[in-house]
A = this chain, B = another copy of it.
Amino acid sequence: MDLPPPRASFASDNASGAHPDVLAALAAANEGHAPAYGGDAWTARALDAFRDLFGGEVEVAFCWGGTGANLVGLQCLLAPYDAVICPDTAHIHVDECGAPERFTGAKLLDVPTADGKLRPEHVTDQLHLLGDMHHVQPRVVAITQSTEQGSLYTPDEIAALTEVAHANGMRVHLDGARIANATAALGGDVRSFTVDAGVDVLTFGGTKNGMVHGEAVVFLDAELGRMAPFVRKQAGQLPSKMRFVAAQFEALLAGDLWLHNARHANEMAQLLAKRVDGAPGVTITRPPEVNAVFATIPPAALAPLQAWSHFYVWDETTTEVRWMTSFDTTADDVERFAAGVVSLVDQHAGL
């Protein structure tokens, strides 16, 4: 194709780098010596920022990455004979190379869903396992917000899940690798679908929203995080020079940069969907709610389009593809990418 590819990748939101303010904060934290492992001033301030955000007495553990943060959060909720109920599209089930089972010993009970979202009946369907020693014991309901399929839970939907979970002795874990995109899409109130909806533990993503590295595990029920320091260390998730993670989070939360970044990424996805919708052979399969566009494209267009600007196929049987936008995806990137899509599907639509 003659069109130059966009400067930005639509493969994933971790193809982007760091937001300039975040990078500046990291650099500014390189100031003299400071106690390692979290005994520094940046960490103290970042913890306060999280307490301001979620209220009250939450416990927070900064970790290296998303898989690691999920491990730390889940381990604090699970005995090895327990089970986690999750959608069969969950990152913990599909994309973490079995780390959750390996680390916790527990089993994932993955259930098929239409849209990556659990419903209360998915939980009640497993209740017959409770109390029978031959079966793992459902103890955690694990959801992702926004989901791996770009869908969103409403606060009420999450509250309905936590209600059935708590009523049956279970806890709710929310994988928030893209919690910022979800919050932005839901109007900006992160408490509405977390602490107010009864979620027990969540991860708060930094990497996909403009940080160099770093994720946070937030124990909304602080008691659940009591042993988190030991869990985190044993999981290999304790950042040595923690100030560099904390300083980035401080910058991300300051002035709601996290929401600003996420809102922009979401808008770019809306724009992309609008631009490619109606192109020959292209069907938007899910109205974009956050920063992902899912669409089916003509099979023959797939390879040349990937060669021009790489992205991932979501479902090979239907040639459904996933395009992700980032905090730094520009409107120009979107226009250029959309133009390439339109041009290539045009050539291949009838094939």
- A15-33 interface with B by 8 A CB criterion: 15-18, 20, 23, 26-27, 29-33
Q: Does A144 contact B (CB under 8 A)?
A: no
Chain B residues whose CB sits within 8 angstroms of the CB of A261 once the complex forms: none
Verify if A318 is at the interface (C-beta below 8 Å from B): no
- With A and B bound together, what is the CA distance between A316 and B29 in angstroms? 34
The segment from A217-225, A230-238, A292-300 that touches chain B is A230-238
A290 contacts partner chain B, Cβ-Cβ < 8 Å: no
> A interface, by DSSP: helix, strand, loop or mixed?
loop
Which residue of chain B lies nearest to A232 when distances are taken between CB atoms in the complex? Answer: B133
Q: Are B64 and A35 in contact (CB under 8 A)?
A: no
Is A116 interfacial (CB 8 A cutoff)?
no
Q: Tell me, yes or no, whether A95 is within 8 Å of chain B by CB.
A: yes
C-alpha gap A212/B326 in the complex (Å): 24
> Any chain B CB within 8 A of the CB of A193?
no
CA distance A133 to B98 in the complex (A): 10
Q: Is the CB of B230 within 8 A of A212?
A: no
Q: Are B30 and A97 in contact (CB under 8 A)?
A: no
Per the bound structure, the CA–CA distance linking A342 and B26 in Å amounts to 37
Residues in B neighbouring A105, C-beta threshold 8 A? 98, 101-102, 105, 234
Query: Which residue of B is nearest A212, CB measured?
Result: B244
Task: Assess whether A239 is interfacial by the CB under 8 Å rule.
Answer: yes
Minimal beta-carbon separation of A5 from chain B (angstroms): 10
* Known A136-B98, A236-B65, A236-B237: A26·B212 in contact at CB below 8 Å: yes
Q: Roughly how many angstroms separate A83 CA and B212 CA in the complex, as a whole number?
A: 32
Q: Give the distance to chain B from A209, nearest Cβ to Cβ, in Å.
A: 12
Contact B81 A233 (CB under 8 A): yes
Q: Any chain B CB within 8 A of the CB of A286?
A: no
Given contacts A67-B233, A128-B316, 18 further A-B contacts (CB under 8 A): A8-B33, A14-B36, A14-B241, A17-B34, A18-B241, A23-B30, A64-B68, A66-B240, A68-B237, A81-B98, A81-B233, A95-B135, A96-B134, A96-B233, A97-B233, A98-B106, A98-B136, A213-B244
The 4 A-B pairs at the shortest CB distance, nearest first, are namely: A68-B236, A133-B229, A81-B230, A64-B64
Q: Which residues of A are in contact with B by a Cβ distance under 8 Å?
A: 7-9, 11-12, 14-18, 20, 23, 26-27, 29-37, 64-68, 71, 75, 79-81, 83, 94-99, 101-103, 105-108, 128, 133-137, 207-208, 212-213, 227, 229-241, 243-244, 310, 316, 326
